[in-house]
Chains A and B, each alone.
Chain A
């Protein structure tokens, strides 16, 4: 599909970190840009991650592999959500190699899912990426991952293809 034909998401309303939000459970979540300084907190988060929520091989299981994976991921646009100092959610956009295009993933620790945190973190990552010239977002998601697909649809993502096991979706960022 031609990127020009994709639905658009306006980054005008996306909050740029740092900021705080109150989630649907009334918890205060502190949102910030994730950098190399956050690696050990993120490793801790992914060590607590429910293996059933793993998607297409990420996050890796072993701490050393989580480390190596984060080194690559943190070269992109990353937003971390913290509750009482602990990292509980992480959105990421990583360069796909195609011009101005990033791949999206969002991970939220189980007790914090369904509380609106993931959506806000993804929107913030879109804001950061757009400010830096990224205009197209791409992702793949397993067909049975209904929660993730719902979130992506709500943000405007449209199916662009995919085989039997995954959906491929795309979105264009605008002012």
Chain B
């Protein structure tokens, strides 16, 4: 399976990153990590990319890392369709102190618009 993992710098996007890399290491699936611009995140794209590359080193996995400029959701959809990905993987949202989950804006856009399957990691 060919997975496109979008990471924008939110906590849940890093959780999705770690879980997916662990899983890919076991399954041998192909994964491309797309560093996207998340206006809700305080990290710069460079900082996000650094963390992605470190996470890859930690699990000793080789994977392509790409930078997507502009609107994150539509960028992910275009890339997924243009290059025949089977699945888009994203963070599953953050919880308030009370425990309510809020799905992030990027995930919401992708879920509502994607033609390929979308996985939100909790």
In the complex, are the beta carbons of A56 and B97 less than 8 A apart?
no
Contact-residue bracket for chain A: 20 to 34
Interchain CB contact under 8 A, A56 and B101: yes
> Which B residues touch A97, using CB under 8 A?
97
**Is B64 among interface residues, defined by CB-CB distance under 8 A?**
no
Chain A 155-168 near chain B by CB (<8 Å), digits 1 or 0: 00000000111100
Q: Tell me which residues across on chain A come within 8 A of B54, comparing CB atoms.
A: none
Q: Which residues of chain B are within 8 angstroms of A103 by Cβ–Cβ distance?
A: 96-98, 100
Interface bits A70-98 vs B (CB < 8 Å: 1, else 0): 00110010000000000000001011110
CB-CB < 8 A to B100: which residues of A? 55-58, 103, 105, 140
B50 CB–A CB distance under 8 Å: no
B77 vs chain A, min Cβ distance (A): 15
CB <8 Å contact, A92 and B98 = yes
Q: List 20 A-B contacts (CB under 8 A).
A: A55-B100, A56-B100, A56-B101, A57-B95, A57-B100, A57-B101, A58-B100, A69-B99, A72-B98, A73-B99, A94-B96, A94-B98, A95-B97, A103-B100, A105-B100, A140-B96, A163-B105, A164-B109, A164-B112, A165-B108
